[in-house]
Structure formats: C-alpha cells, structure tokens
Structure 1
Amino acid sequence: MRKSCDWFSSETGIYKSKHMSIELPSDPFLDVVSFIFSHTHQGVSAFVDSSSGSSITYTELQDLVKSVASGLHEFGISQGQVVLILLPNNIYFPIIYLAALSIGAIVTALNPLSSFAEINKQLTDLNVGIAFTLPLYLENIKQMGIRSVAVPENRDFDSSLLEFSCFNRLLLSNPKLTPKPIINQEDTAALLFSSGTTGLSKGVIITHGNLIATVELFVRFEASQYENPAWENVYLAAVPMFHVYGLALLVTGLVSLGSTIVVMRRFSEEEMIRAIERYRVTHFPTVPPILSALIRVKGDHDLGCLKQVSCGATPVIKKLIQDFLQSFPKVDFIQGYGLTETTAVGTRGFNTKNIRKYNSVGLLAPNMEAKVVDCNTGVCLPPGNSGELLLRGPGIMKGYLNNADATASTIKDGWLHTGDIAHFDQDGFLYISDRLKDMIKYKGFQVAPADLEAVLISLPEILDVAVTGVMDEEAGEIPVAFVVKRPGSALSSADVIDYMSNKVAPYKKVRKVVFANSIPRSAAGKILRSQLRSYGISKM
C-alpha cells in the first residue's frame, strides 16, 4: 500500500506545495501594474544599461510609465488593443510594457531575430495598434500596416533625431493625464508565443491575475526565503525579456522589490564579465548556454560579488552543474521550472545547510499542485516514478489564442498537461528528465535524449551535443547524435558509438553520428530538435 504524507496523497495522486499557501489579492478589479507599485521598498536604481551606464531610478520609473501610458492614450491606444514589443533587452522595454498594461492594453513580445514571415504569421488575427522596435526593423513593421515607434538603445539618445521623435513625445507626455480604465484580474494582459506542449507555435493568453500570481508566488516568495533585503540585490539581465522567464522575473516581479537590473542589450562573454565586475552583480539568472559561457571565461576575473546563479527554461545536464560548482564553490546555485503556460510559476530550488539538491528544479511553489501520470495509462504515480507532469494553480494560462482544441487538449479539468517527463523524490523535490514529444521510440523502447546527451558530454573531445530521433523503417526511430567537436579533435563517428555502447543499455545506443558546427537553440537555450531532424536527414 502506498504511503501518504502531508504533501502527497495516495488517494488522489496530488502533490501539494510543501510551502505555506500565500493569500493572493481578492480584489477582482486589480491590475498587475498597480499591484507592483503598491509595494514599498528602498531601491534606488531600477534599470541600468550595461554598456553605457545609462540608468533609470525607481523614482523616475513610475513617472516614465505614467508618461508613456498617457502618450499611448494620446496615440489612440485603448483597452484591449495589442501593443507589440519587438526589442532585444533594453532599459525602455519595462517602461513600454508596464505603461501598456496600466491602460488595459495587451502586450505581445516577440524575438526581434525572428523572420518577418514568422512575425507576420504570429500577428495574424491580433488587433495590433502600435509596435515598438529598433530603427533597423522600422520599415519592415510599417510594411505590415502597423504604426511603429523606433526605440533608442539607451537614455543618451539625440532627442532631436527624427527617427526618435515619436518615442520622445511619449516620454514627454503629461503623466497626470494617464487614463485609469477599470481592469479586471481576468482581463488579458499579455500574449506570449510558445511551442506549447504539442509543438506548433501558439499564442498563450496571460491575465493580470496570472502575472500577480507570478509576482507573489515566484519572485517575491523566493526573495522572502533570504535574509538580505531584496533592494540590495543586483541582477544581470542576459536572458531575453521577450521570453516568459525574463518577462516574469526581470521586467515584472523584481520591480516590486526594488532590486537593480543591469540590462545587457546583446549577449557576449566579454560584456557579461565586464558587467558583473563593474556593477558588482549579485544575482545572475541564466539558461544553460549562458551558464556554460560563465564557467568557460571565469579565469582570474573578480566575480566574488556573485551570491546566486540560477538556471531555468530547460534542464541542465549534471556535468555542467558539476563544472559550475567546481568553478564557483561559494556561489549558491539553484534551478527553477515554469512554462509560458504557467506564467513561469512552477518550482524553485532552495539550498540549506542540510539539503542541496542541485540536479532538482526544486519544490513546488506556494499554491501550486501537481500530478505525475503514466504516459500510457494516465494512472497517477507516487514519488520515485516518472511520468508526464500535470500542474494546477493560479499561474495557469487562460488558454491558447483562437485555438479551443489545443486549449482543451492541454488543460483538462483544470490540470495543465505540461508534456514534460518528471518525477518527485521522497523529499518532494522535482526532477525534469525530458519532453514527452522528444522521446525516441526505438523498437518499442522509450529513449530519453537528455539521458544520452548527459553521457556524451562527458567525453572530453565533445564541446556540445544533442540527440534526437530519426525515422527508421526497421526500428521506427533511431537515436542520432549531433556532435560539435573541440577544435583540433580527431574524434570519429565510430569513437562516439563505441564510447556509448559501453555506457548505456543496448536499446539506448546511438546508431548514427552527425558532426556539426553548432547545435541550434532557441533564445531560451532549448535545443531545436526539429531543425536537427531536418539537418540530419539531409546528411544521412
């Protein structure tokens, strides 16, 4: 008979957060911007441009948000219209975002490196009233018939330049004329695009209530676990603000705490190190490629200011964690887990003197519940057993935009089917092993690509690696390894296959090896396996 504990019920199969529940605001007419600015703190600098040093103080922030909100209203932007932010990280990104939300507009943030065919496709059926982008992309957006505003890279811009005249008008608008619409917590605040739990890109509907939950259950709760005041923390913003990870933490939650956010416009290893040293960065949210870069370039640099490095968006392989702990033995390392569909609320790591589970993505956030179900039968599984992770709680999206079928297949009876393979250990810590859709089915056996990648990366001559399944007439699918060799390496396909044959079960063996110059990844560091499959087929 299964044993129950206070955080897992053998009767219902539900895992509950081990943390105390947090009472969320009950006022239905509360918007996330009012909620953020209702919190007092002693923070001074809000956003700092890493390369120029140009900054926005917390005193200036509220006035700038009100001015831009007033200007948007003057431009004819009203409640329910969509404001497109097509920007890399930029100190004006948070101002545009908060200003739009404060007047009831809906923000959609896209990767500026996307092709304009992709952008056009994602904007179909959206009522986009205005777009904010860099001068470089201005004409392309205008050709889509969307009113566009060029945004400068920092505050030291020439306001007399014609290209920035519209943006300057917004900054100089009268903050006292800001409209104050009635906004409900159930109103849509943001539309973020995700590949979802089933592959194709979908618009995720995020409400003001979802974002309020993110501020409380993710960002403010985590800060409450530590003794030092949050407004003393300095964060380095290298992860993209247009991604839910960056948006939830760097653009939304931390503003309520008064922390300083140092903004990197473009990621480079040199700028990362320079920013950490110059601004004495204490907290560094990363994704695996950035974490790997930090380890690689540490050298003799003075990075003693770092207190915590966190990693999210995609699981971190054990070797990378071990390398980090060896390079930064005094820095707290944690992982977290969340999806666009959960508004980044899910789990968060927390280390104590007695418990340090670096390979785990942590404990369930307050107010969150989970199930782990057998992928074939749907039966709920107890701790120690892997299956598909289901989540329920106040961060769960409203649904997918104009896609009732996808919403219905993803959210069932209030439970979000994440598509991630996971298990809880006996202490309630969660471990993510792979994506359900990425599992390779070799002769009926299920093979997790992440398991093979963890073995392969331990081979010294391999710099980077990814594994995916490629169709095979006899086996159904075969595991194919895409390998980036270290410079000067004479590693062969046979070497890789032989190495793996001694490390894994026969059905898990890598059957083919493709050498590549790089592994394609998303802005959040996730391996783009569909691209690998196409590339692999062309090379085989």
Structure 2
Amino acid sequence: MVFRSEFPDVPVVDLPIHDAVLGDAARYGERPALVDGVTGECVSYARLAAGVERVAAGLAGAGVRQGDVVALFSPNTIGYPLAFYGATRAGATVTTVSSLATATELAGQLRDSGARWLITVSPFLPTARKAVDLLAGPGGAGPEVVVLDGAEGHRSLADLLAATGPAPAITVDPGRDVAVLPYSSGTTGLPKGVMLTHRSIATNLAQCDALYRPAEGERVLAVLPFFHIYGLAALLNQPLRCGATVVVLPRFDLEQFCRTVEEQRVQALVVAPPIALALAKHPAVDRFDLSSVEYLLCAAAPLDPDLAEACARRLGLPHLLQGYGMTELSPVTHVVSPHDPAPAPGSVGRMVPSTELRVAALDGSDPDLGPGAQGELLIRGPQVMRGYFGRPSDTAAVIDAEGWLHTGDVGYVDERGYLFIVDRVKELIKYKGYQVAPAELEAVLLGHPQIADAAVIGVRDADGTECPKAFVVRAPGGVLSAEEVGAYVAERVAPYKKVRAVEFVEAVPKSPAGKILRRELRDREAARAAGAVVAPRTGGPDGARPAAPEAAH
C-alpha cells in the first residue's frame, strides 16, 4: 500500500529561499533574529534583512553572477546567515562545506561543485588557502576567498555590508534553480552534490508547519552545524521564517551549552544523539537551570529509546521528539510534534503533508508492504531533490521513473501512522550524526604503500555510537600497526571520519564481481557482540585492535 500523510496537502511554494525565510522580517522588525550565545551580540530581523540586501549588493559588486556557485566554509556564527542568504539573493547557489573539512576535502568539493567563490573565517583561512592552491595548481587561479571576520588581502563581511550599489535584479526559477548544494554520500559511495531547489526547500518548510513550527519569539539554541542540512533547515530556515530567535553557538561544549540555555532562557533544543547522551548522563548538567526548555527535538541519527527516556526525565519533559529525513529530501519527511500528547515511543513521527511513503520488501518480492511490515522506505513528494550534481546515473539509481526516492533505510509504519527506523540497507556510516562513506575511507587506506586491500564498516562502541572500523590486508612483508593506520587516515580526513578501530585480515571478502561483501563483516561483528564463536574467514593473527581513540570535535 501507499502511505499518505494524514494532513491536507500544502501548495507548492515558488519563492526564492531568502524570500521564503525573510519575507516577514519587516513585520518582526526589531525582534531579535540572532543572538551570539557567547558574546550576547544581537541582530534584529530588520538588521538581518537589510544586511542580506547589502551583502547581495557587495557580492554582485565583487563579480558574483547569477548561477555562480559560492562555497560557505564556516562554523556557526551570526554572520553565517548574512553570507548564506546574501549569496542566494545575489542569484548564486551555495554549497555548504563541513567546518571539519581538510584542505584536500575542501578542494575536492570546490572542484566538483565548480565554486568560483569561497567564503570563510580567519581561523579557517590556512585550510582555505591550501585548498585553493591544490585546486589552482602552479601559476593557476582558484576561487576568490572572502573572509567574514577580515584578513589582509581579502574582502570581509564589513566590506560587503558597506556596498553602496543596489542589490542585483535577478529572476529566480524556483523549480529549476538550485539554492543549496550540500554534499551527501546518499545511499552509498563518495560524497555527491545534492541539488536542492528554491522550491523544494521552501515547500518543505511549509510542509513542516503541520507538525513543527516554532512560535514567534521562541528561543531556539543553534549548536548543530549550519553546513549540515539538518542545522540549516531546523536552526536557520524554519525558525527565522517563523519569527523565532536563534541563539547561536559555534560548537558543542556541554558547559557552554547549558550556561547559554540558562542565561538566554532557551525554550527549544534541536540536537543530535551525542548531545542527548550528554544531557542524560553528564553530572555537570545538574549545575544549571534548564527549566526554560519546553521541548527537545533529536534527529540526524537513531536515538536509543532508553536514552531518550533518560534525557527527557532529566530535563523534566514528558518525552523527547524525533524526526526523520535526509539531505536528498530537503530534508524532512517525518517529525513528532511538540503538541502531540501521546507519540509512539521510539518513533520518528508522522508524515508531513504532501508526502507519500512506500515500504518495499528487502527481497524485492513486494513493493507495497502494509502496517507493521519492515522494508526499505521509498519517499515521494515536492521535497525530493532535483538530483545529484553532474551524476545522472547516481540520480537514476536513487530516484525511480515514478519519482520515488529509495532511501536505503529500513523501517515500518504502525497502525497510527508513526514511522520507526530499524536498520539501513545502505552502507553509509553515521558517526554522531555525521555521514561517513566507507568507500571514501577505503580509498584513503589504499593510498598507503603498506596496505594491499581494505574494507570499512560501521560498528557500535561501548556507548552505542556507530564508528568506522577498518579491515586491513597488509602488503607482503608489511609490519604496519593499527595505531599507524589510524594516524595515517586521521591526517587525511575530517575528525569525524577517522577510523576508530582496525583489524588486520588475510583477505577482504568480495563477490565474484569484486564488490566488498560488507554484510559478511557486519555479521561477524554482530556474532562477536553476541558472544558467539565464529570462524574468522577473513581474520588475521592480530585480531581487533583499537585505532587512535580520539573523539570527533
């Protein structure tokens, strides 16, 4: 059967994203739109809207033209939305870059997206310059770099805001023009640019209204990164669209997080599971007054039901809220409403309007399973991406001829319409909410001269966090250690992509066609976790040994 949202359909929103978000800014006037959670600096809605116009004018004066791609490489700051919406107002597509990206990763995204401009901050400038050098090559010219907080030889946010010319007159085609180009590994493989149009993002915001819409003046704490589609949608686009106040923190530090909640009287927390874990268990939480919190929404990765209950109990909430989506879905399809009196425990919520869901049997025998039956989730609606940038074959592998996006996630729908996520078909690892592609880490590992072959899967650590584990075949005569493997990878990838465990094996299991049989490795790990004794078909003499146990930051 096809599951349909119980809520009435919403009209397609054919507006540029900056208009969809800031269209009511004049009405909100001097109400705080953004507050720096560290310094207390405040930006009103009137100042934000005027600033976006000035930044657009400044970018246009610097040479940004409609259709250009602008890369935004920055932690959360109150300047981030000025740069983001200013770039879209200038007619550009923004490709958001992880603030943890290495120079090599940044250069790869700049190259793949065709970015002509790179907006960053001074602490990230060395990485940005190295990436531009890698991209340009000897004597070449890479993207122009803008440094928001200023650096010698570069335009700053202040320079853009000081522009005296008019904002450019552009005409956006909301259904075709790409507003945001975040990078996702999708259901498998290396990171790909996800083409999200102005229409898909703006309409998804309207779809969420039936279940989740921050109240005017509500204070929302923004610590999840804006470069991630979850943070961009839930902590910038939706709250600013609704007249809420976004309290911005650059990174998660538990004491700073709790202090900001207390001082700013934050009412809404939007987090990922690692933050929920800290709030549930860390003793420091008891030192702060968090009584202002009215609800906590957790998404980006599965949340253990017992952990959710413990976190809710500690914060004095009836329950935690969860949501579901993916970058390719702009990103929301399901959410538990803050006003739901009795959500199904462990559920990621009910379907937003104008959305359809099918549950397909994993063996392909039935594409339309009913309530209670587990299968791969297929989604159709106006929030589905336009496709992967420059990768029509990858797009066709994910979106079928009838417009259904195959998520690679396994779940079921109960009789009340609540969705439960139970597993993943896809090989993507989610480490603390961050996407880690096994193929990317395997490519890095195979670059080591003493590694003959490698495979990577996700395994659970003692806290239940999914972590990358590498199965490594040493080259003949090699004496490589697990610690050396971990250090080698750590030097070449963002911290959250580090290999957290290494096992040396005699061979990587593969199909006759050469595809890595990761399920065999996962099955063996599951058997180990259950205490079973298994014959290590691919086991080596060293067994499982931990890699460098450095946490992502």
TM-score category by the smaller chain?
0.7 to 0.9
Counterpart of 1:151 (choices 134, 142, 148) is 148
The one-letter amino acid paired with 1:401 is F
Q: What's the counterpart of residue 198 of structure 1?
A: 188
Question: Where in structure 2 are there 5+ consecutive unaligned residues?
Answer: 136-141, 430-456, 472-507, 511-516
Q: Which moved more, 1:305-314 or 1:127-136?
A: 127-136
Does 1:23 find its partner at 2:11? yes
Secondary structure (helix, strand or coil) at the match of 1:477 reads: helix
Seen in structure 2, the aligned counterparts of structure 1 residues 500 and 84 have a Cα distance that, compared at 3 Å, is same
CA shift at 1:351, angstroms? 5.7
TM-score normalised by the chain length of structure 1: 0.78
Q: What's the counterpart of residue 95 of structure 1?
A: 82
CA shift at 1:330, angstroms? 2.5
Seen in structure 2, the aligned counterparts of structure 1 residues 367 and 506 have a Cα distance that, compared at 3 Å, is farther
Q: What's the counterpart of residue 240 of structure 2?
A: 255
Structure 2 Cα separation of the partners of residues 373 and 223 of structure 1: 28
Contact between 2:107 and 2:131, CA under 8 Å: does it hold in 1?
no
* CA offsets 1:257-289 (integer angstroms, 9 cap, x no match): 111111111221111011111101100100011
Q: What's the counterpart of residue 293 of structure 1?
A: 278
* CA offsets 1:72-100 (integer angstroms, 9 cap, x no match): 11001010001110001111111111111
Seen in structure 2, the aligned counterparts of structure 1 residues 266 and 478 have a Cα distance that, compared at 3 Å, is closer
Structure 2 Cα separation of the partners of residues 223 and 346 of structure 1: 12
CA shift at 1:425, angstroms? 0.7
Structure 2 Cα separation of the partners of residues 179 and 59 of structure 1: 20
Superposed counterparts of 1:293-312, under 5 Å: 293-295=278-280, 296=282, 297-312=284-299
Does 1:128 find its partner at 2:115? yes
CA shift at 1:465, angstroms? 4.7
CA shift at 1:24, angstroms? 2.7
Does 1:183 find its partner at 2:165? no
Structure 2 Cα separation of the partners of residues 223 and 365 of structure 1: 9
Does 1:217 find its partner at 2:210? no
The one-letter amino acid paired with 2:10 is I
Structure 1 Cα separation of the partners of residues 51 and 202 of structure 2: 21
Contact between 2:28 and 2:46, CA under 8 Å: does it hold in 1?
no
Structure 1 Cα separation of the partners of residues 309 and 395 of structure 2: 39
The one-letter amino acid paired with 2:373 is N
Secondary structure (helix, strand or coil) at the match of 1:124 reads: helix
CA shift at 1:163, angstroms? 6.1
CA shift at 1:215, angstroms? 1.9
Contact between 1:334 and 1:358, CA under 8 Å: does it hold in 2?
no
The one-letter amino acid paired with 2:118 is A
Seen in structure 2, the aligned counterparts of structure 1 residues 432 and 514 have a Cα distance that, compared at 3 Å, is farther
Counterpart of 2:21 (choices 31, 36, 42) is 36
Seen in structure 2, the aligned counterparts of structure 1 residues 62 and 465 have a Cα distance that, compared at 3 Å, is closer
Superposed counterparts of 1:270-285, under 5 Å: 270-285=255-270
Q: Which moved more, 1:319-328 or 1:93-102?
A: 319-328
Contact between 1:37 and 1:256, CA under 8 Å: does it hold in 2?
yes
* CA offsets 1:97-153 (integer angstroms, 9 cap, x no match): 11111121100010122111111112224332221111133332542411111122x
Contact between 2:295 and 2:317, CA under 8 Å: does it hold in 1?
no
Secondary structure (helix, strand or coil) at the match of 1:80 reads: coil
Contact between 1:351 and 1:357, CA under 8 Å: does it hold in 2?
no
Q: What's the counterpart of residue 382 of structure 1?
A: 370
Counterpart of 1:426 (choices 415, 425, 429) is 415
Superposed counterparts of 1:368-407, under 5 Å: 368-379=355-366, 380-407=368-395
RMSD: 3.1
Does 1:105 find its partner at 2:92? yes
Question: Where in structure 1 are there 5+ consecutive unaligned residues?
Answer: 1-12, 153-158, 441-448, 483-495, 524-540
Counterpart of 1:350 (choices 337, 341, 359) is 337
* CA offsets 1:431-481 (integer angstroms, 9 cap, x no match): 1112103499xxxxxxxx99x95xxx8xxxx44554789756999435465
Q: What's the counterpart of residue 491 of structure 1?
A: none
CA shift at 1:506, angstroms? 10
Q: What's the counterpart of residue 114 of structure 1?
A: 101
Q: What's the counterpart of residue 504 of structure 2?
A: none
Contact between 2:187 and 2:427, CA under 8 Å: does it hold in 1?
no
The one-letter amino acid paired with 1:375 is L
* CA offsets 1:273-306 (integer angstroms, 9 cap, x no match): 1111110110010001111122223214210000
Structure 2 Cα separation of the partners of residues 95 and 465 of structure 1: 35
Contact between 1:235 and 1:260, CA under 8 Å: does it hold in 2?
yes
Secondary structure (helix, strand or coil) at the match of 2:158 reads: helix
Structure 2 Cα separation of the partners of residues 331 and 164 of structure 1: 50
Secondary structure (helix, strand or coil) at the match of 2:286 reads: coil
* CA offsets 1:202-230 (integer angstroms, 9 cap, x no match): 11001000111122112x33345xxxx71
Structure 1 Cα separation of the partners of residues 44 and 524 of structure 2: 51
TM-score normalised by the chain length of structure 2: 0.76
CA shift at 1:428, angstroms? 0.7
Secondary structure (helix, strand or coil) at the match of 1:204 reads: strand
Structure 2 Cα separation of the partners of residues 104 and 178 of structure 1: 10
Seen in structure 2, the aligned counterparts of structure 1 residues 515 and 263 have a Cα distance that, compared at 3 Å, is same
The one-letter amino acid paired with 2:144 is R
Structure 1 Cα separation of the partners of residues 332 and 223 of structure 2: 20
Structure 1 Cα separation of the partners of residues 258 and 154 of structure 2: 31
CA shift at 1:65, angstroms? 0.3
CA shift at 1:341, angstroms? 0.1
CA shift at 1:172, angstroms? 1.2
Structure 1 Cα separation of the partners of residues 345 and 467 of structure 2: 23
Contact between 1:307 and 1:331, CA under 8 Å: does it hold in 2?
no
* CA offsets 1:11-34 (integer angstroms, 9 cap, x no match): xx2100012222233x5xx31212
Contact between 1:211 and 1:343, CA under 8 Å: does it hold in 2?
yes
Superposed counterparts of 1:450-489, under 5 Å: 462-466=462-466, 476-479=520-523
Q: Which moved more, 1:78-87 or 1:473-482?
A: 473-482
Seen in structure 2, the aligned counterparts of structure 1 residues 478 and 71 have a Cα distance that, compared at 3 Å, is closer
Structure 1 Cα separation of the partners of residues 463 and 114 of structure 2: 45
Q: What's the counterpart of residue 534 of structure 1?
A: none
The one-letter amino acid paired with 2:274 is P
Q: What's the counterpart of residue 502 of structure 2?
A: none
Seen in structure 2, the aligned counterparts of structure 1 residues 466 and 62 have a Cα distance that, compared at 3 Å, is closer
Q: What's the counterpart of residue 37 of structure 2?
A: 50
Secondary structure (helix, strand or coil) at the match of 1:236 reads: strand
The one-letter amino acid paired with 1:284 is L
Q: What's the counterpart of residue 14 of structure 1?
A: 2
* CA offsets 1:381-424 (integer angstroms, 9 cap, x no match): 11101110000001100000111110001000200000001110
Structure 1 Cα separation of the partners of residues 156 and 85 of structure 2: 18
Structure 2 Cα separation of the partners of residues 66 and 354 of structure 1: 42
The one-letter amino acid paired with 1:396 is V
Superposed counterparts of 1:53-68, under 5 Å: 53-68=40-55
Structure 1 Cα separation of the partners of residues 255 and 153 of structure 2: 30
Q: What's the counterpart of residue 530 of structure 2?
A: 500
The one-letter amino acid paired with 2:147 is A
Identical amino acids, percent of aligned pairs: 29
Seen in structure 2, the aligned counterparts of structure 1 residues 377 and 120 have a Cα distance that, compared at 3 Å, is same
Structure 2 Cα separation of the partners of residues 287 and 354 of structure 1: 23
